[in-house]
Amino acid sequence: MTAHPNRSRRAPSAARNPSPAEVQAARHAAGLTQAGAASIVHTSVRSWQQWEAEEGPSSRSMHPAFWELFLIKTGQAKIGDGCNANENIR
């Protein structure tokens, strides 16, 4: 199968899935509960708990779009920088 011609010209994305520790640290930096953080990105508290859970049956990776949205809405991201949490958490 031949790759789509536009794909080879794209710059690689800086978006990535944050670790559970990064998700929890960003929430704490924003001074929010899990319920408050979940509300900001329009998801359930259970989803947020799964994003903060370490490896195991109840863990789940946060999608980069939710991560960027959370960082932007809590003032922890610089627009256009790829929302690298290691550089943006206060």
Q: Is the pLDDT of residue 79 over 70?
A: no
- CATH of span 16-88: 1.10.260.40
Q: pTM (2 decimals)? A: 0.72
pLDDT value of position 58: 76
Q: Is the pLDDT of residue 85 over 60?
A: no
How far is Cα 4 from Cα 33, in angstroms, rounded to an integer? 43
pLDDT value of position 52: 95
pLDDT value of position 10: 59
* pLDDT-based confidence at residue 42 (cuts at 50, 70, 90): very high
Q: Is the pLDDT of residue 69 over 80?
A: yes
Task: Report long-range pairs for 62-67 (Cβ below 8 Å, ≥24 apart).
Answer: 62/17, 62/18, 62/23, 63/17, 64/15, 64/16, 64/17, 64/18, 65/15, 66/41, 67/15, 67/17, 67/18, 67/23
